Copies of this chain bind each other. A is one copy, B any other.
Amino acid sequence: MQLEELFVSPHQDLDGHISALIQAFHEMDDSLQPYDRSDFTHRLADSAMPDGQMALTDYLHRLQQLLPGISHLASPRYMGHMTAPLPAYTGELSRLLAMLNQNPMKMESSRLLSFLERESLARLHRLVFSRGPDFYEHFMHAKDAALGVMTSGGTIANVTALWLARNHACGDNLFALAEQGWRGIAILGSRLMHYSFDKGMDLLGAGAASVRRLPVDEHNRLSLPALEAELRHCQEQKIKVIALIGVAGTTDFGSIDPLPEMAAIARREGIHFHVDAAWGGPTAFSSRYRALLAGMELADTVTLDGHKQLLVPLGTGMLLCREPDLMMAVKREAPYAIRASSFDQGRFTLEGTRPANALYLDAAFHLIGEQGYARLIEENYDRARLMASLIEADPAFELMAAPVMNLLAYRCIPPHLQGKPRDESANIQINAFNIALQKRQRAEGHSFVSRTQRAVSRYGEQPLTLLRAVQLNPGIRREHIEALLDEQKQLGQLVARELFS
């Protein structure tokens, strides 16, 4: 093929082949190609740059060979990831977005889409903070105002929140802070805070001890007495607390911290209050479940992730700011790109050039919308409760946390420990059993849940291996949940024989 043709030719067969690959993806599970690292590494071990003479049909053949080796998260028996199959229109929208190649870092390189981004952020701001229409009319497109920023994901959104909080609290120079007698900076939250906060505080130059992971109550919510004690402790130690972190949907349990109480403490102490609602934020669409998020509207900043429950492609995070002038704490300019006098969103974003993913949000808002999201969310939350009831009814399982949203933590119990009391030594056996079982199930590839390691209050501080199911795929039916649990029971027999006999 001529190089020119790559740019102009419509490649008439290509769309049909790609459609076939997508169709196949929706019908596959991982059992086709076992999870075998040495096989994977052997197949993809060419460090030489190709000369570029491969025909498109041969490259399609390469794709066809790669595809069975990927994760088949569209299978309704896959309940382990926080990513789901996307609405069918997404593929076509992605095609448009890729070819338009707009860069919303600055108005000049995306024009109208810059404003679409601000409009989409305003819609989410209103969902979260419920300010009046006048507020949005005034600030949505105002010059030195930002209701939020788009980020590549929840991690960069959380990092941006810490950046804002620190600069707002004490500027960008920690040596100057040290000269004033401060011995460090810290953030306070529960031990279930996402690990992006560790990355963030590491980046910020605050050291590992700056992330104060505090105990949780029996419902996996930050302990308020522990928070008050740690605030006093930091004060005594001359540690400046730059933010309190509330989690609305922990990654392990889906639990929600006591947001109203945390907001009150943050206000009393004059500390930035950030809520990580990457997982739980869209719960606000549901009138049935919205009350779970009470207090989120009191946060200074809120992280959302479009590519989780908002059902848009990966790479679509957001940080929302309650007050439109907060972003001035990190505002930047550059002579060739971002002018101080401009309206460019690039003045506020940590990232520079980036894709115009707001278009995915705009499409989802119009095509799925408030009513559609409410229904999808409520059905997912119902499914989690159904799965919990199946688990509770069966001595082969133990429910480790009742579902608050659509995340479920449980574990499998080996036959010889079913119906028995579980002391520390039993838990050690159960941990080994669940690790082996999860790996075995993953290798077989018919169904999937992920695993984590956490303490659960009724067993004290002992680290426990937990299985983690995520109800996000709208195609999951009761029979898929039953099939997954059945497979675990069957594999459990095999695994127990290998481990304990």
A204 to chain B, nearest CB (A): 5
Instruction: Knowing A91-B95, A92-B95, A474-B7, say if A315 contacts B63 (CB, 8 Å).
Output: no
Name A98's contact: one of B56, B91, B330 (CB within 8 Å): B91
Among the 9-residue stretches A293-301, A351-359, A388-396, the one with 4 or more Cβ atoms under 8 Å from chain B is A351-359
- B-contacting residues, A11-61, CB 8 Å: 11, 14-15, 18-19, 21-22, 25, 30, 33, 35, 37, 40-41, 43-54, 56, 59
A442 on the B face (CB < 8 A): yes
Contacts of A252 in B (CB 8 A): 335-336
Residue of B nearest to A98 (CB): B94
A333 on the B face (CB < 8 A): yes
A-B contacts, 9 of them at CB < 8 A, read: A33-B112, A44-B116, A45-B119, A50-B370, A71-B113, A152-B315, A172-B208, A173-B205, A173-B206
- B-contacting residues, A278-309, CB 8 Å: 285, 305, 307
Q: CA separation between A74 and B80, bound complex, in Å?
A: 41
A314 on the B face (CB < 8 A): yes
**Cβ-defined contact, A205 with B11, below 8 A:** no
A122 on the B face (CB < 8 A): yes
Contacts of A125 in B (CB 8 A): 47
Q: CA separation between A312 and B254, bound complex, in Å?
A: 36
A381 on the B face (CB < 8 A): no
Contacts of A52 in B (CB 8 A): 365-373
A179 on the B face (CB < 8 A): yes
Bitwise interface map of A from 157 to 195 toward B, beta carbon under 8 Å scored 1, else 0: 001000100110001111111110011100000000011
**Cβ-defined contact, B354 with A171, below 8 A:** no
A178 to chain B, nearest CB (A): 4
Which 5 residue pairs spanning A and B have beta carbons closest together? A52-B369, A173-B207, A69-B112, A336-B452, A205-B205
Instruction: Knowing A111-B35, A203-B163, A335-B452, say if A22 contacts B99 (CB, 8 Å).
Output: yes
**Cβ-defined contact, A450 with B108, below 8 A:** yes
Q: Taking each of A137, A285, A307, which has the highest tally of chain B beta carbons within 10 Å of its own beta carbon?
A: A307
- B-contacting residues, A56-104, CB 8 Å: 56, 59, 62-63, 66, 69-71, 73-74, 80-103
Contacts of A501 in B (CB 8 A): none
Instruction: Knowing A127-B49, A152-B354, say if A40 contacts B111 (CB, 8 Å).
Output: yes
A454 on the B face (CB < 8 A): yes
Name A204's contact: one of B116, B123, B141, B204 (CB within 8 Å): B204
- B-contacting residues, A116-139, CB 8 Å: 116, 118-119, 122-123, 125-127, 133, 136-137
Q: CA separation between A335 and B435, bound complex, in Å?
A: 13
Number of A residues, CB within 8 Å of B: 170
Contacts of A154 in B (CB 8 A): 352-353
Q: CA separation between A182 and B86, bound complex, in Å?
A: 51
**Cβ-defined contact, B119 with A44, below 8 A:** yes
A489 on the B face (CB < 8 A): no
Q: Taking each of A19, A174, A337, A356, which has the highest tally of chain B beta carbons within 10 Å of its own beta carbon?
A: A174
**Cβ-defined contact, A172 with B89, below 8 A:** no
A140 on the B face (CB < 8 A): yes
Contacts of A88 in B (CB 8 A): 6-11
Residue of B nearest to A333 (CB): B195
Contacts of A118 in B (CB 8 A): 44
A399 to chain B, nearest CB (A): 17
A491 on the B face (CB < 8 A): no
Known: A83-B353, A98-B313, A154-B353. 9 other contacts (CB 8 A): A22-B100, A25-B99, A25-B100, A41-B140, A49-B123, A50-B365, A71-B102, A101-B307, A152-B152
